[in-house]
Amino acid sequence: MTRLHKCFAIDCSGSTSGSGFYHENVRLILDSKFEDGDEIIVWDSNSKYISLESYMDINRKRKGYGCTYPQYIFDSIFKKYNEVNYSEFILISDGCVSNSDIERTDRIIQENRNRFNCEYTEVYLFGNYANLSVACPFTRFNSSKTIVKTANSTEDQVISVSDEDLNTIKEIDNINTLDEFEAKYDSLEKAFIVRLLGTSGDQKLRISVLKMQKRINADNATKKENINQKIDQLILEDKNYDEAKEEAIKCFTSVLGNEFQVKINNLIRMCDGGLKQIFDINKLQTFRDYTADNTTVNEVDDIQDLNIESSVKDSQWECPISIDNEIDPMILITTNDGSNEYDYSSSSSSSNSSITPILVGFDKNTTEKIINCPLNALYIPEFMEKLKSFIDHSISLKNYRASLTTSNPICKSPFTRKRIVGGIPLGENEEHVKAANWTLMKIITGGKDLGDKNLWFFVIYMMIKQGSLPYLKDIEPFVKAQVLYRFKNYKTSISLSGLTNFPQTRVYYPTAAWTCLISPFLIPKIPENLNLFYLHLIHYHELLEILDLFQLELPKEFYNYASRIEIFSKLLVFFKRNPKLLNMYKRGIENRSIPIHVDLESPLKSGGICGDLFIPVDGEIDKEVQLQCLQKFSSFGYQCILDGKTTMDEISWLLNLVDIQKNLSDINVNVFIEGKKETDALKMDTNYNEYWKEWDDNIDKFKVEISEKTCRPYYYVKEGVTWLDELSKIVNTSKPILSLDKHFGNYVCSYYQYPTKDEYILYLYRRVCLGSYISQTLPRQIKKFADKVFERYQPIMEKYSANEFIKIFEDNTSIALRIKNERS
């Protein structure tokens, strides 16, 4: 390979033409760096080697032609040299290029790395429009410096990457501790930027990052300061919960910290293609994900060596093969994919390829959520249906094992005739646990060690306990026995999560479950962002189940707190999805209200929400209607009231805490622990308005007639007496007047059709309560008022079309003309 001095690749595209800033800076570089033996390539839509003298003529005249295509630099290089190795390659440009040009240049360099080499690369980008898109293909594989200079900045921006920095990518698989990571992070970040800028990312490198994160997390969890045996004893043996709280606080020091997670996120985001469009030197950004190694548990061919001891006595389970009571059930895992029968006598895992793992097909966020804590899977119906499809009936391990030695081994389920792909033995020993884990990982992740395997098994237990697998109900004691064995013999992170920004101290499962549930009560001695109850909110009932298995207790305040949080979180989710409904339902709960239904395609949809609505009215709250209102937006809250877990007063208080701009974690946890104070919420038994009391009390005294000639009430109700004179005999007309008939006419004129009664009431509510702010409520008897309005307008609606009504109504806006017409 020909070894040469420096090569200056100078952009001479059209954008450089006439640019004094660009050409002056290029001249300064050549003056300071060019030596005898160096070469110059000028490039735009083409490229060519030229002498220094020839280039300086271009520079003095500030010439520039063509487009910015750096890939064409290599046309000249490979035309002149079969192989070349420059001591330094200096690229100079004022422009930017497209992603397709980056990909072409990358491809040329990658395909010709044995022909083109340089020991060091320097890139100069001059001007306001230059960016890293031109530079990135040239800086991926060797030490480099990129200098960005603009006319309006006195300081250059520089990215420098050494060969040592680049080599850290090769060393990533050997980084096992936080100290090692911190020592190499700056170099890793630099190397990742130059390697991945302008690309769609690198999934292999991403996996390396995630494996590194997992190793660091595991190392952190095994440190002496992150192992706490005392808290296990305090909770499981001594039941000393007060001292256990103090010990739990110490465990929160095992968090690797947000800074570590931010750095990992940064590397992962780059591997995911986060730098594909980011060429501004100021805008290099971040993100996060998860992966795993292959599982190391025993394969199912070890099943023939498993013992069949069990602590479950007096079993009523009958094996379908021996037709006898047994103590060694094994859950069959089967598939009906039509593949060849599984051969248990072979240790080959080639049959794995015929099984589609359950996690396949879920989006990244759902997958991550499940892996971080498998208990989340219980609340993802599609996942549970897939898992259920694999879980068959149970048979005796002893009898199954015996069949494998015969000429007719059991390869299909005796019940479903589905192909057996694995088994979950239920003994209380390490061998059974390992075999069960192998099968679970096989069907869930395709053999990858993803998620907490003991929690995966607990998911199976909960399915049986909750009745999702009724055909396994008779072996529930055996499954429970293995759950107990697992949870008191294996340890997990105290946060029950694989997320490194949460505590990772290793404890037994009941201790972890207790700590997650109690963590809100440890604040402020632990940071609010480490409230583990929020992390497990969706499945905290399963954590309570773990506590019940070991007869552990929580403070009595916990249950009211949990109920408030559960109700509030569901309210928050609902109203974030339906923000326009919040104020309507608030008023419907806080006041007496009436239910109405306005079709979703009603013309009123242009002015606000339609559907099943509750309109606030005067009077004392109707408890039955209030419950109906609650049921519309929170069936969970409604059920909690029926179950005596909360009150309507408390739900109203929670409803007033809802702010769609905030998240649950934005609200001080003590608000939910302490609950509603007397001054915080409305007194539901006395909260009623009487603004329209005169109108309600005198509803039968309103005698209104509509003139067919004006489509309005008669102005003179009798000789010398106006409608206002007559009204003043019934109500105080110095206060706002409820113009029921006027609003009817205005509705028709606004929407060019007659309203339904519910549309009319909604229109009134918008105009009277929302539009003018006269009162927050309509009259208590608004439905009866609406009936009377429709009764007197019925002849009009039958006689005139909506368009005819509008013309007559609007023609009689003038009082004088109205009087004239109604008397004619």
Spans of all domains in the chain: 2-161, 300-497, 557-674, 693-823
How do strand 144-149 and strand 157-161 relate by DSSP bridges? antiparallel
Calpha distance 608→583 (Å, rounded): 12
Spatial CA neighbour of 434 closest among 392, 489, 354, 396: 489
- Give the confidence band of 290 by pLDDT, cuts at 50, 70, 90: very low
Task: Summarize pLDDT for 538-578 with one digit per residue, the tens.
Answer: 999 999 999 999 999 999 999 999 999 999 999 999 999 99
Instruction: Specify whether the CB–CB gap between 153 and 21 falls below 8 A.
Output: no
Amino acid identity for residue 497 in this structure: S
Q: Where is pLDDT greater, at 700 or 365?
A: 700
Overall average pLDDT of the 258-265 stretch: 81
Q: CA 699 → CA 406, 721, 743, 766, 789, distances in Å?
A: 91, 20, 18, 22, 12
**Predicted confidence (pLDDT) at residue 325 exceeds the cutoff of 50:** no
Computed over every residue of the chain, the mean pLDDT equals 87
CATH class of 2-161: alpha beta
Which is it for the CA torsion 320, 322, 323, 325, positive or negative?
negative
Which structure tokens are listed for 68? 């910015």
**Predicted confidence (pLDDT) at residue 286 exceeds the cutoff of 50:** no
Q: Where is pLDDT greater, at 174 or 300?
A: 174
Overall average pLDDT of the 166-176 stretch: 92
Amino acid identity for residue 219 in this structure: D
Spatial CA neighbour of 570 closest among 671, 642, 639, 468: 639
- The region of weakest confidence among 400-409, 481-490, 623-632, 711-720 is 400-409
Instruction: Specify whether the CB–CB gap between 655 and 632 falls below 8 A.
Output: no
| pTM score over 0.85 | no
Calpha distance 359→442 (Å, rounded): 11
Q: What φ, ψ does residue 468 adopt, rounded to 5°? A: -75, -20
Q: How many CB atoms lie within 10 A of CB 47?
A: 23
Task: Summarize pLDDT for 588-644 with one digit per residue, the tens.
Answer: 999 999 999 999 999 999 888 999 999 999 999 999 999 999 999 999 999 999 999
Residues in the chain: 824
